[in-house]
Structure 1
């Protein structure tokens, strides 16, 4: 049976959702974040050297990284589901979004998170200065880049409502986290097409079931 090493409030929620969409049985090993650092516990390093989540185990096979895990699940258990037919424009779009989601899309979001948290981690005397520098960096560089990506998502979704063709696929699953995070800290909630997309995926029974099994997830509204 598949075992998912799952960290609360993390990208690994998407793996549970994918497994629910495919109707695959799985076991969850739950991990909690350190309440001070919000980092994953060291116990995850026993599974994978980087100590990150998600990590998937099956029959001695260990797979890390969300995109690689989704590829593995679709290849070994998908049976042609949640991925467009090979050689089609939709399949090329699917591959693009699978790589883009954890690459280009997450970069400005991570930078936004870092700069937002810098002041709270600074000493009292340095906090005003750090806050001023962080605010300037966000306004001058991070926020404009993030806005570009959000507008790109919005225009892409406006074509069919989904990321890879006119039907729901694993591309929508992997892209859900950047969109959810951008609503939380990047202003994406002001975009109608993005808001409608998130409402559709949050209403899916498999999404709701995965959420009930996975536990705390800050981006589920």
Structure 2
């Protein structure tokens, strides 16, 4: 069987390529490009999965979406104990927590920031723009930005406890956490004022498997701090 990654440029599917490279597994890539105006995935992805989003993998008769589910599937089927703490180890609970925190908590305010920033810059009738701008600024300043700062402060403090998110060893939880932190560096103010998170980005970007995934996946803007 050959694993096929249905890969959308500048998306969460880059993490799946990176995981496969870390595991040394053979895989194929089917590339998809975002619509340059809407930045949405093309309709062709709906032929693979009804929601038409990435990442999606196919492996034999299995078709699987959602980054966390894909990571767990690949580790269960092909991991052979790699990139995940052993069941029952104290680090296993941290692994599970961060694997789900990445999408369940970290990405929500980052996505809201993206949406409301687009509202600020969207073309609209002159009489509507002050109203839309006022609403967007209030949501950003009153909710989105404080939540992003709180989460970044929390993650910074957690990395003071362990070198990697799950513990002393690099794991797939770090792969999962890469996207929200790269997105935060790209558009939400994460910089070297939070040295542990910034150092985390430097370390993952130096990994050979990360570079191999970039070479195969193509342009990925979030890799630039």
TM range (shorter): over 0.9
Query: Aligned match of 2:149 in 147, 150, 162?
Result: 147
Say yes or no: does 1:115 pair with 2:119: no
Give the deviation of 1:124 after TM superposition: 4.3
CA distance in 2, matches of 1:172, 1:28: 22
Q: Distance in 1 between matches of 2:201 and 2:130?
A: 36
Question: SS at the partner of 1:57?
Answer: strand
Between the aligned partners of 1:212 and 1:135, the Cα distance in structure 2 is 39
Distance, in Å, in 2 between the alignment partners of 1:101 and 1:35 is 26
* 1:193 partnered with 2:200: no
Provide, for residues 147-190 of structure 1, a one-character-per-residue CA deviation record: whole Å limited to 9, x for no partner: 11101111111222210010100000000001111111221213
| Unpaired stretches in structure 2, ≥5 consecutive residues | none
The count of residues paired between Structure 1 and Structure 2 equals: 221
CA deviation string 1:71-98 (max 9, x = no partner) = 0000001000000010111001101111
- Secondary structure of 1:158's counterpart equals coil
**Structure 2: how far apart are the matches of 1:127 and 1:113?**
18
2:175 paired with 1:173: yes
TM-score by length of 1: 0.97
Instruction: Work out whether 1:48 is the aligned partner of 2:72.
Output: no
Counterparts of 2:114 and 2:59 in 1: how far apart (Å)? 33
The alpha carbon displacement at 1:122 in A equals 3.8
CA contact (8 A) 1:17 1:210 kept: yes
- Which of 212, 215, 219 is the matching residue for 1:216? 219
Decide whether the 8 Å contact of 1:31 with 1:40 is kept in 2. Answer: yes
- How far off its partner does 1:7 sit? 0.1
* Matched residue, 1:103: 104
Check conservation: 1:119, 1:128, Cα contact below 8 A: no
> SS in structure 2 opposite 1:188?
coil
- Tell me the secondary structure at the aligned position of residue 87 of structure 1: coil
- Measured in 1, the distance between the counterparts of 2:202 and 2:10 equals 19
Q: Does 1:87 align with 2:88?
A: yes
Alignment root-mean-square deviation, CA:
1.0
**Runs of 4+ more than 3 Å apart:** none
2:64 is paired with a residue of what secondary structure? Answer: strand
Alpha-carbon separation, structure 2, partners of 1:185 and 1:117? 12
Is 1:203 aligned to residue 203 of structure 2?
A: no
Listed one character per residue, the Cα deviations across residues 122-147 of structure 1 (whole Å, up to 9, x for unaligned) are 41413343223212211111111111
Asked if 1:133 is matched to 2:135, the reply is: yes
2: CA distance between counterparts of 1:133 and 1:218? 29
Which residue in 1 is equivalent to 2:184? 182
